[in-house]
Amino acid sequence: MKIDRGLLMTLAAATLTAACASAGATGGGAGGGGPRVSVAAPDVTCSTGRLSGTPAADSAASILALINTAADSAQAAQYAQSRQVAGRAIAGDPTNAYGYYLAGQAALGTADYADADSLLRRSKELCPELGAYDVDRLLAGGAALAFDRAQTAIQAGDTTTAVAGYETALRMDPTNYPAEFYLGLVAFGRQNTDESVRRWRRVATIIDALPADSSAQVNADRAGARANAINALTFASRQYLEREQTAQAAQLLQELSRDLPNNADVAYYYALALNTQQRWQELLPAAQRAVEMAPLNYGALVLMYNGYAGQSQAAAAAGQNAQASELGRQAALVRQRHDSLPVQIEQLQVDVEDTNTAIRGVAVGTGRTAPVTVEFTLHGASGPLGTGRTTITPPAEADAQSRFELTVDNTQAVTGVTYRVVGG
For residues 61 and 14, is the Cβ–Cβ distance under 8 A? no
On the question of pLDDT at 125 being above 60, the answer is yes
pLDDT, residue 382, reads 86
The sheet that has 416-421: what strands, in order across it? Answer: 383-392, 372-380, 416-421
Confidence class of residue 8 from pLDDT cuts 50, 70 and 90? Answer: very low
On the question of pLDDT at 398 being above 50, the answer is yes
The residues facing 403 across adjacent strands are 362
* Distance between CA atoms of residues 415 and 384, nearest Å: 10
On the question of pLDDT at 169 being above 50, the answer is yes
Helix (H, G, I), strand (E, B) or coil at 344: strand
Q: Compute the average pLDDT of residues 96-106.
A: 97
On the question of pLDDT at 160 being above 50, the answer is yes
Helix (H, G, I), strand (E, B) or coil at 352: strand
| Higher pLDDT pick, 33 / 411 | 411
Confidence class of residue 2 from pLDDT cuts 50, 70 and 90? Answer: very low
Q: Compute the average pLDDT of residues 413-420.
A: 94
Residue 414 CB burial class (10 angstroms; 0-12, 13-18, ≥19)? buried
Nearest to residue 207, comparing CAs of 418, 1, 413? Answer: 413
DSSP-derived secondary structure letter, 191: T
For 149-158, 175-184, 346-355, which range has the lowest pLDDT when averaged over its residues? 346-355
- Domain assignments of the chain as residue spans, ordered by start: 24-157, 283-341, 344-421
pLDDT, residue 354, reads 85
pLDDT, residue 148, reads 96
pLDDT, residue 27, reads 35
Q: Compute the average pLDDT of residues 338-354.
A: 92
Confidence class of residue 225 from pLDDT cuts 50, 70 and 90? Answer: very high
The average confidence (pLDDT) of the chain is: 89
pLDDT, residue 37, reads 64
Q: Is 2.40.50.140 the CATH number for 344-421? A: no
On the question of pLDDT at 28 being above 70, the answer is no
Q: Compute the average pLDDT of residues 19-42.
A: 48
**Percentage of residues in the chain having pLDDT higher than 70:** 91
**Percentage of residues in the chain having pLDDT higher than 90:** 81
On the question of pLDDT at 21 being above 70, the answer is no
Q: Compute the average pLDDT of residues 174-194.
A: 97
Q: Which helix (H) or strand (E) holds 416?
A: strand 416-421
- Give tens-digit pLDDT for 370-393: 999 999 999 998 899 999 999 999
On the question of pLDDT at 301 being above 70, the answer is yes
Q: Compute the average pLDDT of residues 122-148.
A: 96
For residues 183 and 206, is the Cβ–Cβ distance under 8 A? no
On the question of pLDDT at 25 being above 70, the answer is no
pLDDT, residue 23, reads 35
Confidence class of residue 424 from pLDDT cuts 50, 70 and 90? Answer: low
- Give tens-digit pLDDT for 272-292: 999 999 999 999 999 999 999
- Give tens-digit pLDDT for 308-318: 999 999 999 99
Confidence class of residue 397 from pLDDT cuts 50, 70 and 90? Answer: confident
pLDDT, residue 361, reads 96
Q: Compute the average pLDDT of residues 26-37.
A: 42
Q: Which CATH architecture has domain 24-157?
A: Alpha Horseshoe (1.25)
* Distance between CA atoms of residues 110 and 289, nearest Å: 56
Q: Compute the average pLDDT of residues 220-241.
A: 94
On the question of pLDDT at 191 being above 80, the answer is yes
On the question of pLDDT at 423 being above 70, the answer is yes
CA angle 180, 128, 20 (to 5 degrees): 90
On the question of pLDDT at 176 being above 60, the answer is yes
